[in-house]
Amino acid sequence: MAVATVVFGVLLFGGMREEASAADRETGWESPVIQTELRGLSKASLLFQDTAHRPLVALSPQRPMIPASTTKLVTAYLALRHWGASHRFKTDFKVVKRASDGAVILWVKGYGDPFLVSEALQRIARTLAESLKSQGVARIDAVYLDASYFSPGLVLPGLSATLNPYDAVPSALAANFNTLFLTTRQGQVVSAEAQTPLTPTAAKLGKQTDLTQGRFNLGQDARVGQRYFAELLSAFLRREGIGVARSVAWHGLAEADSPGLAEVVFYRHYNTLNLAGMVRPMMRYSTNFIANQLILMLAAEQLGPPATAEKVAELMNDSLKRAFGWTDFYLEEGAGLSRANRLSAQQLVALLEAFRPWKDLLPEVETDVWAKTGTLLGVSALAGYIENDQLKSDQAWLPFALLINQPVPLDFRNRVALALKQGVLGAQLSESRLSQRPESYESAN
């Protein structure tokens, strides 16, 4: 077994080591958390870097490890670099009238927008209803869905067949993160959200599900979620005075240009939430669905639709090789659920250096510690920045990455981060000051 080395002060990769000074021994570098507990682990990797990109603390920093949800840092970086923080995702709506029988058909083409929540669908319905009424249209006879931007039957590595929200399947068209929040009232299934009406699909699933467990996903069949999207949009249209038949089918939007079909309304919706506004909750709540949607949209845009699991792996690995010159790593999905993913602490710190323009999108898991957590069974990770408020510049944010691939207490990663902070700031910190923020102690991934 290789011997892991912790170095205090400046570490030169290749062997030269400086001894800890007396000042070091009085700060977090000599904390029992690092000296005893962390060094006693056989499967741990840590790198903490100063403003000159010199290692302050290093423990097997080049060792490939399972990164769990710190993978979302990669997904966010690739998305923000490609689209920019202000980018807004689109969804297309087209209403046509069939000459043969006068039927009015609403076509919807999705491109993976992860934030088509009830409030957004309500705004969309209002806009569509106003346009339809101006054209003298008061009823829609069928809803056609085009979800072809993602491959049908898409399965990403690491997702499990549970009803937990973090296992929600990705889809080019999805409402409310492909999840439901229902309850019962006087023996009847009802929506637990005032803004979300109950639809036939939701009612059916509610009768089959233990609702005491809270929010749950719509299952493994993406078309169930797509039908739910159509039902929810239809419910909001009815509220706006547009009658909608319950007929839902799947047809490509290109068919809407067929002979015998006349366009009545075309509306391209851009989400009011920009990419930065989507990445921030993804980081705070470790939302797998958002991460999966982002990386699939990126794969479809850069490698051509439909998005597939193979294109995701190709995109992530080729992009990182080109951007950083990495070789000893592997990523096959963007949420961090796969145990085949491999990154080192050194690679994550390099990524964090490039992520500086968007560092404010990370949650503050402890005072002055802004980071992304990662949790799988037997995996605990934390990567981000320690803010040295004695320096008033971008360089006051010192990057670190901690990867542990063996069981440890859930709060251990935060105690390591506080020890690193103590080493930099010389603060008198104690373990009793550990944060109680929920984003610090995610239950899964």
pLDDT by 10s per residue, the chain, length 445: 333 334 433 332 222 233 333 333 334 466 889 888 999 999 999 999 988 888 999 999 999 999 999 999 999 999 999 999 999 999 999 999 999 999 999 999 999 999 999 999 999 999 999 999 999 999 999 999 999 999 999 989 998 889 999 999 999 999 999 999 999 999 999 999 999 999 999 999 999 999 998 999 999 999 999 999 999 999 999 999 999 999 999 999 999 999 999 999 999 999 999 999 999 999 999 999 999 999 999 999 999 999 999 999 999 999 999 999 999 999 999 999 999 999 999 999 999 999 999 999 999 999 999 999 999 999 999 999 999 877 666 678 999 999 999 999 999 999 999 999 988 776 434 443 555 455 544 545 5
pTM of the model: 0.90
- Which runs of E-coded beta strand occur in 142-271? 142-146, 179-180, 182-185, 188-191, 216-217, 243-244, 248-250, 261-270
Measuring CA to CA, which residue among 30, 35, 44 is closest to residue 1? 44
Distance CA 395, CA 388 (A): 9
pLDDT score recorded for residue 314: 98
How far is CA 222 from each of CA 110, 167, 428, rounded to the nearest angstrom? 13, 12, 52
Q: Which residues pair with 342 in a beta bridge?
A: 330
Tokens linked to 255: 């068919």
Distance CA 106, CA 269 (A): 14
Element (H, E) at 304: none
pLDDT score recorded for residue 51: 82
Pairing of strands 369-376, 379-387: antiparallel
Q: Please, how many CA atoms are within 13 Å of residue 191, restricted to the half-sphere of its CB?
A: 15
Annotate 56-100 with DSSP letters as a single string.
EEEESTT--B--GGGHHHHHHHHHHHHH-TT---EEEEEEEEETT
Tokens linked to 113: 């927008």
pLDDT score recorded for residue 4: 39
Measuring CA to CA, which residue among 442, 348, 434 is closest to residue 33? 434
Distance CA 198, CA 444 (A): 29
Q: Please, how many CA atoms are within 13 Å of residue 30, restricted to the half-sphere of its CB?
A: 10
pLDDT score recorded for residue 285: 96
